[in-house]
Every structure is written in C-alpha cells, then in structure tokens.
Structure 1
C-alpha cells in the first residue's frame, strides 16, 4: 500500500501515479555530480559522459567499446553507477533483476580509467546475484551482498572474502525482509566505515516470522507455493541486530540495543556517526510513536540514547522528508558536532539542528508550513535548501533559509512558475538540475545556477515550456467544504463540449490513506490512465479529492487525525465531499462511480458499502478487504495494535460493511500479489456471497500488486475497466 519514493531524481522515473502502482513511462540513470560540483556524469546513448558547467561541455568517460566486456559484442546496459572518491574507478550495475518492487539484484563491473580495464566482480557468485555493491572510502575494495551474506572484494588482488556465513531467506545479512523493504524503504543494509576497515550491517532474523503462501498455478503443471515472510498486523516484527564486522578478521561486534522482548522494535536507520568508532541509529518502538536516536560504540557495543521524540499518533519515517537517503546518509554539520533532524512537534514538519549529545537544538525553519523534502545543505554559505508550499498544498517550490534559524525562508523557485518543482542540487549548491511541470505543462528539465535560478547559457527551457503549453488542459482545481466544515482540495476534468444545462456522470478517483496524494498541480496527475479511450470526450466528469489523513502539506493535525480511523474518517470525508459535488447542477446523481487501487481499492469498497446512497458503481483493484491481513509496520503505524483496539480494525475493514452493497461492483485482484494478498479477495467474496450480493470478479493469475505481468495484461485490464464503467455508469450528458 506504500510507494517507494524516487531518489531525488538521481534515477528518473516519469510516471503516472496509479494509487501506488506506478506505470513507468521512461526510466534512466539520472545525473551524478562530480565532487567539485562544477559538472555532472550522465549516461547518454550508451556512453558515460562528464558535462562541465556552465557550458555543459561533454567529455566521454566511458565509450561503448570500453563498456563491452571481453568476449561480448554488446556494451553493458547500465542501470546505475558510482565513483571512487578520486573519480578514477567507476562501479557499474547491469544485468539487473527485480526483488519485489525494484531491480536491486544483478552484476557489478569496475572500470579503471587509469588502466582501461573492465572487471566483473563476484566471479564465483551466481549470475545476477550481487546487491548494493559499493566502493570502500579509500577505493581499494568493493563490498556487496549475495544470497543474504556480505562479501568484500579486493580490487588489486581480486581476492573475495566472505564476511558472514549464516545467511539464508529467513536469516538475512546486509539487506532486509519484505516488510522492512516495503514500509521503511530499507534495502541496502550495510555501511562502510570512513577508514575502510569495518562494515556496519543489519541482520534480520525472520525465522519465526510466518510465511504467506502464494499459489502459483501457471508456471508448472503441478501448482507450487511461493513463500513470503510477511508479519501481519498483530504479529511481532522480525528481530534485528546491528553488527560491525572487522574486515581483517571477519569478526562481528554486535551492538547492544535494548528492545521489548515481546513486542520487539525497529531500527529503520543506521549510519556511521562521522567517525570510525561510533554508529548513530534510529530506534522505533513497536507502536512507532517513540523515536530514540542512539550512539553506539562499535568496539564495545554499548549504546546510549541522545535524542527522544514522542507523538500521540506516529513518528514519520525519514523518506518522507529527505528521500535522498533511501540508500544511506546523515546530515552532519560542524564536522560531526551537530546534525539536522525533522520533527512535527510544533504542529508542522520543521527542521532542527541538534548537537551530537542531543542536549541542544535550534529550530531552523519557522512558520505555518511543512518542509516537504531537504534538497541540499550549503554549510559553507550557511543555508539549507528545502521544498515547501506554504499557500497551496497541490504545489511544490524550492526555498532556502539560514542554518542558524534566523530570518524568514526565501523562495528560490521563480514566482511565474506555478506548479511542482523538483531539484537535484550540486554539492556546492551552485548549480541544480531543475525539473518542472504543472497540470498543463509537460515535465521539463533544465540546468540552472543558484540562487539566482537562471538557466545556464541563457536558456529558458521551463519558461518556454510554460509559454507554449496548452493552458486549456481541461483540468480545474477546486475546493470543497463539507457540511462538517472540512475543506479539501480537488481537481476536476469536465467533459469536452461541456453543456452546463445537461447532467453528466461523475467518476471519483480515490486513494485516501496516509501514503497517497492525488491532487497535485503536476502534469498527468488528472490522467484517466486506466480508461481505454478519452473519458472527457465520452462525457464523464472525472474528479479526485484529498481528504484528511492524506500526506499533503497542511500540517500534522491534518495528516494524523486519521490515526486509528482508517476506514472511517477518510471514508466519511470523501463521502461528504462527494455529497457536496452531487449538489452541482451538472452532476447526474444516478450515475456516480468511484474507483481506486490498493488503499484506493479499499476506499472504493468502503465508500460503496458505507455510503450506497451516493455511489452507484465501483471498481476496486487490489484492495485490503480486511485490514487485519495487512503488514504490521504499515497497519500498526496508523491503527495501533489489533490486540488493543480490535474494534477499530473491524470498523475500518470493508468486509465488515459488505452486507450493505446496493450498487454495481467490479472487483479485481492478482493471485500473485505479494503486497495485498489474494486472501483479501476471498474474504470479501465470502461476505458478499453470504449476503447474496451480486458483483463481478476478475482474478489475474499469478499477477502481482501492479497487475502488469504477462502478455496482454494491461490491455485486458484497461478494456475490462472501461467496458464495465460504460455499461454501469453510462457516459454522456442528458
């Protein structure tokens, strides 16, 4: 039900968000800044170039010939790359394979720019089995995970040393189990020490975590079970350990991190603490409403809490406010004497600089707005750059403010560029790659200088794109206030050749839960991407509204009012907003439809069952029918433990209300869904059958949560969706 954020455009993913099932339209390795910040590396047309700024003069670093392994005729298709500190060696990731959501397993090669040699790593390991390979800080070695164990390879000798011996599917070294990956975005599970002599790593013990058994009926004559270690709500997490292994001896020192022996706890972040003998970790309790930052002595294992935060609901995890660090990193200041941290303790997400011992803090950002993401820290000039949108929750802009917390925040994004901005800033914050779009302007990329925000070499790519864009996109933003006084943002696409004297069917697109914002001033946000045809031309009003509980920049109270209320507050907000929309004179209240995917699929079911007088047709895809079945990290974060408040789980689950179905329901699910298991479909089916509620069902054999695998799948799904909608919510004005 959650989505993996992009890594601040270091890997570009131009996609249409489909309720947390992104359809990738274009993907490539993004830019990587050189260490001086006056240029960037990028793959183009199969070769790696260095582009020196401001003129963007290209120097070929790796040609296609150099990228062709010995004995091969084609160059490597590189997904990602990194450099040693001296930028003389390049680590290349190719031949990749998917691990659940992302392609994080494959082969790694090192190219030495001094010798011209291209060397494959892990020569005795199975093909495409290496994960998260990275150079040691001194550039002499590469460490990686293969088949749940850690290895280190000496680049000069080619010697490979195995550092852990006990790894398997249920006992995981250097990476994570399914739920840590899905809900904490933890994938890369080890870190080099600054002196290259040690590696700190996670160990996850999933031996007591029960398996979900997905049945594969299509890949052999005899069906077989595909197990996934998956702790549902109420089940304890897989225990963790943090170890520091000495490269010379291969001996591990374990950190002493206290945990609840029954409830257990989590460590979603771990880094070296700006020196060679301490780690800094974030320790979350089982409820995820207390966060302890701890320093660990890597020689003795002793740990101490330096900074504690509590919340009556939950503590947001780091990818929500600094997505650059999905694969590691920590914002240190003053040579390791201070660090930057984010908190919602004053009602808004703001940044604080905290001393290493946690005893002093300075609030850096101030005001009634949320910090949406940290873009860069320019310590030399005393600034932090961040994304925010104080006056319009559908948009996103670059701001900067003083690291000392004095003075107001300064908007860096130009006033004439209204919409959604993303940035990848250089190490010195002198240049940035700027990516802009709004509801009518396609994604546009330009290189700019900062802080003046001017296009390099006199360029005006974004301004030119805005000027020539068709502003009659057909999308309108609106605000709707319910009879309970709740005001929400929405977008609407009216039918083409709209006649205000006619009444039209309305289709609501929903997500509603804490991991989805639908209403964005961003190109493609209002696309009816699953509809096979032109929904506006066919005569539908298409609408999406963001209720309370969605992760929009409207403050802590807006987002966290949904605690222990999933399936209740979000559903009522949506229904009350729809009730107001249905008062509009051009809406035909006999033709009202709702659809969504994943959490949006759950919302669709709840809306159909709890408010059947409003919604006449629903299309629900990959829904959680019973929230008792979903994973513990997500569901307990927002709903508490079911052992303590089972009634909230019962009332929030669509199956509880299935007996109230009156309208037309199409339910769709993939039987190979590792995220929202097909069990949810069968629990729902049982309730509908028990109450003699007629509905239409489509099961996609062995498809995952994205229902994208297999020849013809997407066309079939789109055709099914469109045909059902047209049949039960007839298009056109009347």
Structure 2
C-alpha cells in the first residue's frame, strides 16, 4: 500500500519575534548549504534582510550539523539567544528537551544543564539582566550562571508527588498552566508553584503491546468529586536557601492558584485564587519580603469564570488591565492597584475575543472581536481611557478571520488572514492604517491545488430552533442535484471548549469534503454554550446541563434543517464527533433515536464522573450539588435506548479521556443486548495518531462504517 502524504500541506511563517527596537522582526529560514536554520532579521519599513545568527554558529563543538530549533527567545537586550531543541512530550505538549545559549558578542554556544540528564530541561528563561538562566529539571528548579556556567539547585524536594516549577496533568490541561516559576524584576528571587499530588487518585494506563508482560503507567488524575493536588506559591532566593510560602486563605485542595506573576518594578506578586466551583476569583497581592497578602479584587459569576491572561500594568504600576464579563459581555477594564477603581476600556454589545496589544504610549488597546458575525474575527482598537467607540482596523476586503502578532510600539503587525476558501496568508502590515507592506507567505500553491478540485465551498447558514438562532455550515456533494435527496451527515462538537462553525481555513476541511464527494451533505451546528463570541448569557446557558441542553439544541436543529431543505433524506441521518463531540454523538443517538440512524463516536466521555474534576465541575457544578445533571448529561445512562447503527473508537493510552469510558459503555451496551461496532487502538492517546499507519487506518475504518450503514449518494 502506497500513501502519498502532505499533498495539501499548508506553509506557515515564523516563528516571529519582534526585536527590542520594534523596527524589525526575526524569523527562521532554512540554510540551504548546511541545513538547519538561520535566524534572520527583516527591517519592517524597508524589508532589508540581514542574518543575525547563521546555522554555522549553531553547530556544537565536535558536531557536523546545526542544532534543530524548536523555539527560540531573545534576552531583553537582544544580545543573547536561548534555543530549545531535542524536545519531548510531557502530558500532551512538547515542553521538555535541551536548551542552548548563544552569546552574540562572543559567538559562544553552550548547552545548559550539562551536569543534568539530557532532554530534561523545561521552561528555561533569562534573568532580567540575562546574566543567568533558570529552568526546571526533573521537578526541581535550577539557576545557571551564563559566565561560569555554575549550576545552583534552587529547590531540592521535587520528585515523586512533589512538583516544583511546573504542574500536574489537570493544571496543564484545564488551566493552561505549564511554566510554573517567575523571575523577580530585580533578578534576585524566584517565585514558583509547588504541587503535591499525594492525595490525588491514580489512574493506570496499561501498555500491553511493547513487552510480553503488561506495564502499568500511573497518572495522578483528579476525577469529578475526588481530591485535587495541594498547590502553594513560594519565593526563594536565586542564591538558594529556604523557600518562604504565601499562606493563601482557604483549603489548598479545594482552591486553584490559577495565575501568579510579579508586578513590574516591585517586590510583589499578583496571585489569582479560583475556588473549586470556579465561580469566584480572588485577586491577592503578596509582598515577597514579609509574605503578607492583601485582597484587592474579587470576581464572581453565578455560573463559572474563565481565567484570562490580559493583565498589563499601566502608569507606573498604578493600574492594571483586567478582562471580565461583568456587564454581560467579555470586555477589558482598567483597574487601580488597590482594586477600588474599575473603568471600562472596551464597551458595547460584543465580546473581546483576544487582546493583541496594549500600547500605553499610543493610548490604545488592539484586540480581536466580531460584533456582527460570530464565525469571523477582525482587529479593533479602543482608547485606553475608555473614550469613544470601538474602531475596526481590519479592512472589509479581508472577510473571514484575521489574527495578529503586533510589535510592542503597535506600529507594525504580522497579519494571518484566512477564510473557508483561503488558506492562511501571512502579511506585514503597518498600524493603525492597516496598510499591507509585503506578503510573507501566501500559500498560493496550496490554494491552486485546492481550487483545482472544484469542490463545493462551505455554505454558512442560520438555523432557527425557536428561542435562538444557531450558526451552521453545509457542504454539498460535488455533483449535487437539487432534484434528488441525499444523506445528511452531522459533524458535532458542542462543548464549551471550542466551536466548529468558523469561517477559517481549518486545513480545507478535507475530511468533510471527502465525505461530501462520497455523496453526503455534511453539516455542523454550533449549539448554545460553544466557544463563540456571543456573550455571557450564551456561554453560561449550559451551566449544570452539559450534554443535556446541547443535545436538545442539536436535535431541534436537525429537525429544522430536514424541514427546510427538500434535498435531504430524513431516513439517512448520521452524526459523528471526537472527544466532547463523541459524547454529544452518543447523547444524540441515545436520546433522539428517531432522528439519527447512524452514529460514530471517537475518544468520548460516556460518564461525566469519569472525566477530570477541573473541567467537568467548572461547567456542571459539584457532584454533590448536581447529581441529576451529571446523570442526565452522561450518555451511558441512556444506552438502553440505542436503535440505530453505532460505531465507537478509542485509544487505550488516552490520558485525557480514559479508555475506561469506552469499556464502561461497552459493558452497558452488552447488558442491554445492543449490537454495535467497536475499534480499539492500542497505546494511542486522545488524538489516536501515534505509531505507524494509525491515522490512515482510523479514517478508512470510519469510511467503511459510513458506506455500510449510511448509504451515500442522491436518490
């Protein structure tokens, strides 16, 4: 069997780093003579190219090839370069590997942590004066002098159940916490998180394929209602010594220390403490000298709160910026250091999707929003003083989605523009006039290949289910004939973590297009609660009823769609999804069997009590308060209602949604004598893409199921 790969692979540009002077940016370019990458600088105004670091400079002594650059960081003065290479996966991301430092003044290239095991360093970062680098290795924090390369071990108790300077599985996955330490502004201290997982339940992944005896792989993983890690924040001198700990009020097992960072030009840290129900966020300021804590603000919500990384200190640290949904929409606010003055910066009936740049000198904040079309994204700016209306910066000709990497002085930006028919186009633009200076990567080759297929583009439509209007997309078969009727295949996600109906490239939606070519009308609908900029009411509508309201919305949408379009065959309706979408597929199949004749669920949660506490309790509340919601939202409790054709698939090494969910559902289906198809992928994780030929086999298995159980083509 010969499989040609990457035919429709898209090109990117970067990674880009804006230089200290804001007049140019650095990026990676292949060195065609010796391989590896050069780090080059482009002047933004003139486009002049200069090589800052040649791949020749990145050849370690005694080696013949330059190191492979996975990521790189400049020191504040741009005189030193920190290079990340030889990476390894920790949980679900490549955050462990080797770090090298290149001193541009001496041209000296040195691997850090040479007395430590290779490929164990994490989150290396320069001290403010770039005289040292701190990093984590095997759950302890180290500091290395860049002149002598003397290594000092800052913490010594890490290992086993004690984690210093990084996080356990659930903090990384659900609170986006990975890098767990911070340099003080004066470079004399390090503040860090410590997690103790001793009371967290251990889930075992079983490896049955790499040895003649099975090997259990332990994973501390807090499931709904069980113990969390005990987490605290401490401060230690970079010269070593005992750690001083902040005594944050409240049970450390039933609160999250979700964010911590130093306030610039101070000896204080800001700590965000989120309660277990995740509906109250207390903001503390801690003095690292006397270890006293002061509460400056408390954010509350009747449902749940999301953590935002939008804190920027202004006016000599007298104020900071803060994102909040307090007026019903997600907006940016200016808050005084004592928390007593809270002034809106952005305002209006729209959500701020992402903060791109806060420019105190120019007086503006630049951000992504989409007031008029929830499937699109545009750059806006508002005055930091809150005066005037939001000003759209992205031109109307760029209809779709744009993201930006903006220079610190907000005069330049790298724009990435895309929509459902346009692969990403990387451009250098000037601000605030948004004038395109040059195209950095246009993906024209990919665009031409895709256009040559002459496929039907995604059609974005609205679905009225009575009390709300939902966004949806539709892809028709290439040879579509409106006089015939076609099977309808829904792709679903439906959880608060993401959205499927977006006017972006999404890799060309190749699987959707492939299924459309086979003779299916492919659709996807964003039910209430999905991650779209439709305000607090939209997002919080699903609180306490994950899997309940969403599957109801999906069923109503399916009925309305079948009623609206005469070319759809109501006897041939299928639904499929992955992860949360797998759970949604099962809920729809079991609760609305009269609609869906076939379903395919991948890497799904069958019982919400089996998933991690942080995610599930955020959206469902505590089990003790909402036992009925957990029961009614879990498809396993309705497996007896299965009538149609069902296929379930799972990886046995899934550290996110455990294979346990799969086996428990299988057990329940057998109990009720329900016939179904199943496929297990040994030692594959949540994305089921590890090991040889896995992705191809999975997709072919899916295709065979649909061909057999949901006959394709117009009739």
Instruction: Say yes or no: does 1:432 pair with 2:413.
Output: yes
Partner of 1:31: 16
2:473 corresponding residue in structure 1: 491
| Pair 264,537 (structure 1): closer, same or farther in 2 beyond 3 Å | closer
Counterparts of 1:114 and 1:149, CA distance in 2: 31
2:313 is the alignment partner of 1:364: no
Does residue 1:582 correspond to 2:575, yes or no?
no
Maintained 8 Å contact 1:441/1:465: no
Match of 1:316 among 294, 306, 310: 306
CA distance in 1, matches of 2:508, 2:585: 18
Gaps of 5+ in 2: 1-5, 31-36
Structure 2 equivalent of residue 442 of structure 1:
423
Of 58, 63, 80, which aligns to 1:89? 80
Rounded Cα–Cα distance in structure 2 between residues aligned with 1:355 and 1:413: 31
Structure 1 position 461, deviation (Å): 8.0
- For residue 538 of structure 1, what is the aligned residue in structure 2? 518
After superposition, where does 1:247-396 map in structure 2 within 5 Å?
247-260=238-251, 264-318=254-308, 322=310, 330-396=311-377
Q: CA RMSD in A?
A: 2.0
Q: Secondary structure at the match of 2:581?
A: helix
1:571 counterpart residue number: 551
For these two proteins, the number of residue pairs brought into alignment is: 699
Matching residue within 676, 701, 713 for 1:695: 676
**Contact in 2 for aligned 1:510/1:544 (Cα 8 Å):** yes
Cα distance in structure 2, aligned partners of 1:500 and 1:172:
61
After superposing the two structures, state which structure 1 stretch, 244-253 or 155-164, moved more. 244-253
Distance 1:86 1:444, change over 3 A: same
Q: Which segment is superposed worse, 518-527 or 606-615? A: 518-527
Contact kept? 1:90, 1:112, Cα under 8 Å: yes
Question: 1:27-56 CA deviation, whole Å, 9 max, x = no partner?
Answer: 775100101111111111011111112122
For residues 183 and 251 of structure 2, the distance between their equivalents in structure 1, rounded to whole angstroms, comes to 29
2:11 and 2:443 in contact (8 A); partners too: no
Q: 1:250 to 1:346 in 2, by over 3 A?
A: same
Q: 1:288-687 maps to which residues of 2 (within 5 A)?
A: 288-318=278-308, 322=310, 330-456=311-437, 473-482=456-465, 484-524=466-506, 527-529=509-511, 534-583=514-563, 584-687=565-668
Partner of 1:6: none
TM-score (norm 1): 0.93
Distance 2:329 2:222 in 1: 32
5+ residue gaps, structure 1: 1-14, 16-22, 323-329
Q: Which secondary structure state, in structure 2, belongs to the residue aligned with residue 96 of structure 1?
A: strand
Residue in 2 that maps onto 1:3 = none
Whole-angstrom distance in 1 between the partners of 2:461 and 2:211: 52
Structure 1 residues 108-128: Cα deviation after superposition (integer angstroms, max 9, x where no partner): 001011111100100111110
Note if contact 1:213-1:227 (Cα within 8 Å) is conserved in structure 2.
yes
Deviation at 1:462, TM superposition (A): 7.5
| Contact 2:10/2:423 (<8 A) preserved | no
- Give the C-alpha shift of residue 733 in structure 1: 0.0
Q: CA 1:577–1:87 in structure 2 vs 1: closer, same or farther (change >3 Å)?
A: same
Tell me, what secondary structure is at the counterpart of 2:433?
coil
CA contact (8 A) 1:440 1:472 kept: no
1-side partners of 2:14 and 2:605: how far apart?
34
Measure, in 1, the Cα distance between the counterparts of 2:506 and 2:202: 38
Q: CA–CA distance in 1 between the matches of 2:350 and 2:375?
A: 13
Q: Deviations over 1:542-590 (max 9, x none)?
A: 0000000101011110111000010100010011001111112111111
Q: Out of 233-242 and 655-664, give the one that drifted further.
A: 233-242
Q: Note the C-alpha offset of 1:689.
A: 0.4
Question: Paired residue for 1:19?
Answer: none
Question: Residues of 2 paired with 1:169 and 1:54: CA distance?
Answer: 53
**C-alpha deviation, 1:59, in angstroms:** 1.4
Q: CA deviation at 1:248?
A: 2.3
Match status 1:197 vs 2:197: no
Quick one: distance in 1 between partners of 2:510 and 2:467? 29
What SS does the corresponding residue of 1:534 show, helix, strand or coil?
A: helix
Pick the aligned partner of 1:49 from 21, 40, 57: 40
Provide the C-alpha distance between the structure 1 equivalents of 2:296 and 2:442, rounded to a whole number of angstroms: 45
Higher mean C-alpha displacement, 41-50 vs 517-526: 517-526
What secondary structure sits across from 2:636 in the alignment?
helix
Deviation track 1:426-448 (CA, whole Å, cap 9, x = no partner) reads 01010000000011111100101
**Displacement after TM superposition at 1:501 (Å):** 1.0
Given the alignment of the two structures, is residue 110 of structure 1 paired with residue 101 of structure 2, yes or no? Answer: yes
- Asked if the contact 1:38/1:53 (under 8 Å) is kept, the reply is yes
Shift of 1:296: 0.4
CA distance in 1, matches of 2:204, 2:706: 33
Rounded to whole Å, the distance in 1 between the matches of 2:683 and 2:105 is 48
- 1:226 matches 2:217: yes
- How much does 1:93 deviate? 0.5
Contact 2:519 2:713 in 1 (8 A): yes
Residue 218 to residue 346, structure 1, CA distance change in 2 (3 Å): same
2:351–2:533 contact (8 Å) kept in structure 1: yes
Partner residue in 1 for 2:34: none
Change (3 A) 1:461 1:47: closer
Measure the CA separation in 2 of the matches of 1:702 and 1:120. 33
Over residues 393-421 of structure 1, what are the superposed CA-to-partner deviations in whole Å (9 max), with x where a residue is unaligned? 00000000100111000000001211000
2:431, 2:347 → 1: CA distance?
Answer: 22
